[in-house]
Structure 1
Amino acid sequence: MGNLENDKQKKIREIVSIVKLASLLFSGMVFLRYFFNGSTMVDVTVKTNYSFVSFFVLILILLSIYFLWSFSTVEKINIKYIKIIQSIENIIFVLFFMIVVLYSGKNTSDYKFIFLFIIITSTIQKGMMQGMIVACIASTFILSLDLIMGAPNVQVNLIFENDLILSGVFMLTAWPLGFYVRIENEHIRKLEGLANEDGLTGLYNHRFFYDALEGIMQTCEKENNLVSMILIDIDYFKIYNDVNGHQMGDEVLRSVGSILKSSFRKDDVVARYGGEEFAIVLPNTSEEDTIKLAERLRIKIETTYFNGEENQPNGNLTVSIGTSIYPSKAKNATELFKSADDALYRAKFFDKNRVESYTSILEELKIDTKDEHIDIITSIKTLISVINAKDKYTYGHVERVVIYSRLLADKLELNEKNKKELIYGAYMHDIGKINIPKEILNKNMPLTSAEWEIMKQHSVNGVEIIKSVESLKEIAPLILHHHERYDGKGYPDNLKGNNIPYLVRMLTVVDCFDAMTSSRPYNKRKTYKEAIEELKICSGKQFDKEIADSFIEVIIDNQNRIGNVEEYKI
């Protein structure tokens, strides 16, 4: 809708410029007419030697300058200065038309109506008030001329009477036209509201959010400013709707929308992004301030009473919040949203009712990487983004495997070094899929033998990608062997039992569990109970029994929050 408004204003400027150009041409004709009025042929000959040419050239120069300025320069001027420039332009035109009237006969001029040009254009551009002001100035000018220049002994000043009527025409032109412009603008604003606002909460809607984000990002990129984003999701909202009904659920959404409206600045974009999801874009806001705002909002919602919230799993209605910032954690609008979404994902997973700021595993890895390899780490991040775009399954899978790996590492009390290796390996274990054709990655049925052989190469390909980075050599076994089996029937090297590195055995359990409990085109998704039974059946065969048993305990201990994250993302 912002683009439509810009298009409208552009068309108005074009129309107004054409009318003003026409008024300048008309004024030039008036000057020329009075320039030759009453002149003899000798006078004309003398005048054409210098004055006529000079005057004609002057008019052409004025017209050319105005034409070029109207149709090129205005487009490049900052929007906040346009109204000031338009006001100055209108003053110049009023003064110019005063000169035309004075030159063409003063109070007896037949061209006083020329003020209608500027009255009409100023009203169209700036509304009734501006039009009435210009009309009053024009009326005062021509009536003052009549009083000053009129014959003192004449009892009835016919020119003054006619100009009173003309002044009335000026006023009647500005008033109804201004009223029409006001009605049209109000109608447009109502249509914008219907198009841009969410009908339930009164916040901006999903479509406007993306339009506004794009505009804000473009401005901040030019001015080198920060842009922060907050994503909010109401915890256990499905449970609330199921218990209390959708009408009460709608009341909750209205109330949360009202809280959001009152919690942010006028320039912040507050939108309802989805069912129970909200998004806020905050221009020129630091990460520290964004986190403080998010935490204040979380507390405000937690302490607000909502009817029926006592039936919620936490005993009250809460929200999970994720934040991110441009340019330090995202390079464009897409990355900004995705990184805030990642942070929200973690907030939903880790107990809910919390604020999480986006942290990239690869950013953590950069700290442990030598300077000469930083560019390679950045390239790896790009590769993983490409894989996510190719395979819609991989993105959510990698995030979940990382979270599961953190939990299992804590359960098995890994030291900090091994924990980092496991997490980095979990993040990059499928990086070799960059070389797998999209048709194979997204195939809707089981792979053929030939396709399966191609798919199995992704672990070898992954090691090739990271082998030049010294600091990543520790995680190479995790990438290469995460499809090995405890009984030696895996790939690529048929490693068996304790010959498979301990961290690899951990990753294998986590990776397979998520594969079993995720929706894939050719694989029926298992419930957590079914997946746990599968882990038990395959313990000692596909998986290290000790690790599998520990992971089962992790799943049981965290089943409630894992289940809700699954519902949220898949």
Structure 2
Amino acid sequence: MPPQEFKKYRIKQLLSIVKLACLLFPTVITFQNLTTFDYSQGYLLPYSFFITLILGLLYFFWAFTTKRTLQSHYLNTLALMEHFLLGFFVFMLILLSGGVNSPNKFMFIFIIITATIQLGHKKGFYVASISSFAILSMDLYVARGMTINPYFENDLTLTGVFMLTAWILGTYVEAERDHITMLEKMVNYDGLTQVYNHRFFYEQLEKEFDVARLTKKPLTVLFIDIDYFKCYNDLNGHLDGDQVLAQMGQLLQSTLDTQGTVARYGGEEFAVLLPGYDHEEGTKMAERIRHTVEITPFKNEDNQPSGILTVSVGIATYPKQAKDSIELIKCADDALYRAKFFDKNRVETYSSILDELEKNIPKKDLDILTSMKTLVNMINIKDRYTYGHVERVVLYSRRLAHSLDLNENDAKTLVCGAYMHDVGKIDIDESILIKKMPLTHDEWLELKQHPIKGEEAIQYVDCLQSARPLVRHHHERYDGKGYPDGLHGEDIPYLARVLTIVDSFDAMTSNRVYNTRKSYKEAIEELKNCKGTQFDPAITDCFIAMIQTKSDF
């Protein structure tokens, strides 16, 4: 149990013990007083009913307020009603058990203790003052004709105890609450940016997602990344970089105000939860954040490639684009990657090629396409690399289709093939996909079957027929040494040759369990070295030119 939660538990436990004493003492006193009643007068039944009703109401209030954190005005009002009812009940018991001579005046101390613990130092002091006033007023009223009032003098000491208890206990409780607040800040906040941290973000995400699912309301997640931040750190040093991160945290908080939850997700990346925001509202907020950062001056930002400091934003919304919280995070992360890839300083929304296909295919193919999407998701679960790899290959393919000046149908086929090219891995054993050691001969032969299995998986989907050659031949080599069919040169379908280059480049520049990623410069050199052997020379030159136009690569 975290320290702050343990302290809350101890305070709650103390409160429960004192409230139990509050319940037991009046009950004992009540039944003691029942023996003094004249049963012939018929007062026993209504008196017992009245006492039972009061105790029942008190128990209801205690059970309701103790189990909940008193943060809302509604719960504070209930707690005040609880203490007023208990005070009135105790005062009546004092009157019935002897009034000014009653030995039960001390029972006000329990009300003062519970009020101080539950409602704070100030309200505890108010309750102590009211309790003291009630006892001293009773003393003055009863002894109003006496020259010397012995009751008042004796009870002054008791009221002093009341006030001292409220003051000492209130001071302790306030100190404990301040300590709990400090611990919560240490646990939940990022020390540099003063926004919530990664751990708290995921806790809050699960809470907000449960609320969104139960209330049928949307939930939008924004991922925000500072553009060229490594470049900024290299030029200005990490101290200035830390200042930018701190300023960015403050900027995001002031822009959102109280409309969402801001957290530092890691490094120069921030995350925002927007409960109740649909996709359109989330996009407006994302654009507002992007624009605010763009026009805000930062120290030494003129050294940035674009002359100013900017951010890229990725958006995903439940339930439109994701069915659970993990998928929502993945979609927002993919959208951010797309925003970073497409020139930065922009807002991008998550989209899937299969979602786009659904808009233009016959209804009879929808169920099959849904099955295809399920297959891709199953592969993602088996192999986390494949998930990110597929999304990146789709992004590269979109951009390269534009650079190659492909017509609309070919561009769509290329992107579709990029999305489906690894679907055959569904039949590959998970231990092979994630194996850290080199594959055995038999394991390698099994892995090489995934292009054939992938083509078989989509062969009955009409809208995916044009992508079949890409799925089958994306591992063919220009020199004829590829697989599964050993096709050579122009015999390899043109779009498959395009996909081969994109697929290979991303594989080289991504971390795998069995090899370390190459830098973009190293990967480009590898493409040049393999031009004419593994890759189509003309397409390779076009792809390299496209990559080199992006200065962040």
> What amino acid sits opposite 1:547 in the alignment?
I
Aligned equivalents of 1:6, 1:191: Cα separation in 2: 9
Name the SS for the 2:157 alignment partner: helix
Deviation at 1:345, TM superposition (A): 0.7
Out of 335, 338, 357, which is 1:346 matched to?
338
CA 1:532–1:149 in 2, change beyond 3 Å: closer, same or farther?
closer
Equivalent residue number for residue 34 of structure 2: 35
Deviation at 1:447, TM superposition (A): 2.0
> What amino acid sits opposite 1:326 in the alignment?
Y
Instruction: Tell me the alpha carbon deviations over residues 387-435 of structure 1, each in whole angstroms, 9 at most, x when there is no partner.
Output: 2333233233222211221122112222222211210110111011122
Aligned equivalents of 1:357, 1:557: Cα separation in 2: 23
Aligned equivalents of 1:68, 1:185: Cα separation in 2: 26
> What amino acid sits opposite 2:278 in the alignment?
S
Out of 85, 91, 96, which is 1:92 matched to?
85
Are the aligned partners of 1:301 and 1:318 in contact in 2 as well (CA < 8 Å)? yes
Aligned equivalents of 2:95, 2:392: Cα separation in 1: 81
> What amino acid sits opposite 1:36 in the alignment?
T
Equivalent residue number for residue 376 of structure 2: 384
> What amino acid sits opposite 1:402 in the alignment?
V
Out of 452, 470, 489, which is 2:462 matched to?
470
> What amino acid sits opposite 1:286 in the alignment?
D
CA 1:65–1:473 in 2, change beyond 3 Å: closer, same or farther?
farther
Equivalent residue number for residue 128 of structure 1: 121
**Structure 1 residue 116 corresponds to structure 2 residue 109:** yes
Are the aligned partners of 2:474 and 2:497 in contact in 1 as well (CA < 8 Å)? yes
My pick for the range that moved more, 227-236 or 482-491, is: 482-491
Out of 231, 252, 255, which is 1:263 matched to?
255
**Structure 1 residue 443 corresponds to structure 2 residue 451:** no
Equivalent residue number for residue 432 of structure 1: 424
Are the aligned partners of 2:65 and 2:75 in contact in 1 as well (CA < 8 Å)? no
CA 1:69–1:375 in 2, change beyond 3 Å: closer, same or farther?
farther
My pick for the range that moved more, 393-402 or 453-462, is: 393-402
**Structure 1 residue 165 corresponds to structure 2 residue 162:** no
Deviation at 1:155, TM superposition (A): 0.1
Out of 288, 294, 299, which is 1:302 matched to?
294
Aligned equivalents of 2:521, 2:172: Cα separation in 1: 68
Instruction: Tell me the alpha carbon deviations over residues 163-184 of structure 1, each in whole angstroms, 9 at most, x when there is no partner.
Output: 2322222222212211211111
How many residue pairs end up in the alignment?
A: 552
Are the aligned partners of 1:21 and 1:63 in contact in 2 as well (CA < 8 Å)? no
**Structure 1 residue 403 corresponds to structure 2 residue 395:** yes
Name the SS for the 1:270 alignment partner: strand
> What amino acid sits opposite 1:124 in the alignment?
I
RMSD across aligned positions (CA): 3.0
> What amino acid sits opposite 2:246 in the alignment?
R
Q: How do residues 50-449 of structure 1 correspond to structure 2 at under 5 angstroms?
A: 70-71=62-63, 75=67, 80=72, 81-150=74-143, 152=145, 154-266=146-258, 268-449=260-441
> What amino acid sits opposite 1:451 in the alignment?
E
Deviation at 1:120, TM superposition (A): 0.8
> What amino acid sits opposite 1:129 in the alignment?
K
Deviation at 1:365, TM superposition (A): 2.0
> What amino acid sits opposite 2:24 in the alignment?
L
Equivalent residue number for residue 568 of structure 1: none
Instruction: Tell me the alpha carbon deviations over residues 110-166 of structure 1, each in whole angstroms, 9 at most, x when there is no partner.
Output: 2111111111111111112221222222222222222222251x2001112222322
Name the SS for the 2:220 alignment partner: strand
CA 1:192–1:118 in 2, change beyond 3 Å: closer, same or farther?
same
> What amino acid sits opposite 1:469 in the alignment?
V
My pick for the range that moved more, 68-77 or 228-237, is: 68-77
Name the SS for the 2:312 alignment partner: strand
Aligned equivalents of 1:277, 1:91: Cα separation in 2: 51
Aligned equivalents of 2:234, 2:152: Cα separation in 1: 79
Are the aligned partners of 1:484 and 1:492 in contact in 2 as well (CA < 8 Å)? yes
Deviation at 1:286, TM superposition (A): 2.9
> What amino acid sits opposite 2:112 in the alignment?
I
Are the aligned partners of 2:480 and 2:489 in contact in 1 as well (CA < 8 Å)? yes
Which residues of structure 1 form unaligned runs of 5+? 564-570
Aligned equivalents of 1:242, 1:89: Cα separation in 2: 61
Name the SS for the 1:273 alignment partner: strand
Are the aligned partners of 1:230 and 1:279 in contact in 2 as well (CA < 8 Å)? yes
Deviation at 1:525, TM superposition (A): 4.7
Aligned equivalents of 2:63, 2:290: Cα separation in 1: 50
> What amino acid sits opposite 1:410 in the alignment?
H
Q: Could you state the TM-score of these two structures normalised by the residue count of structure 2? A: 0.90
My pick for the range that moved more, 235-244 or 139-148, is: 139-148
Instruction: Tell me the alpha carbon deviations over residues 512-559 of structure 1, each in whole angstroms, 9 at most, x when there is no partner.
Output: 23333434344565554554455455445443344333333333334x
Are the aligned partners of 1:21 and 1:67 in contact in 2 as well (CA < 8 Å)? no
Aligned equivalents of 1:349, 1:293: Cα separation in 2: 21
My pick for the range that moved more, 492-501 or 473-482, is: 492-501
**Structure 1 residue 506 corresponds to structure 2 residue 505:** no
Instruction: Tell me the alpha carbon deviations over residues 342-381 of structure 1, each in whole angstroms, 9 at most, x when there is no partner.
Output: 1111111111111212222222122123334434434433
Give the share of equivalent positions with the same residue, in percent: 51
Which residues of structure 2 form unaligned runs of 5+? none
Q: How do residues 7-46 of structure 1 correspond to structure 2 at under 5 angstroms?
A: 12-37=11-36
> What amino acid sits opposite 1:362 in the alignment?
L
> What amino acid sits opposite 1:96 in the alignment?
F
CA 1:381–1:4 in 2, change beyond 3 Å: closer, same or farther?
farther
Aligned equivalents of 1:145, 1:72: Cα separation in 2: 33
Aligned equivalents of 1:532, 1:201: Cα separation in 2: 37
Deviation at 1:509, TM superposition (A): 2.4
Aligned equivalents of 2:69, 2:169: Cα separation in 1: 27
Aligned equivalents of 1:4, 1:87: Cα separation in 2: 29
Name the SS for the 1:322 alignment partner: strand
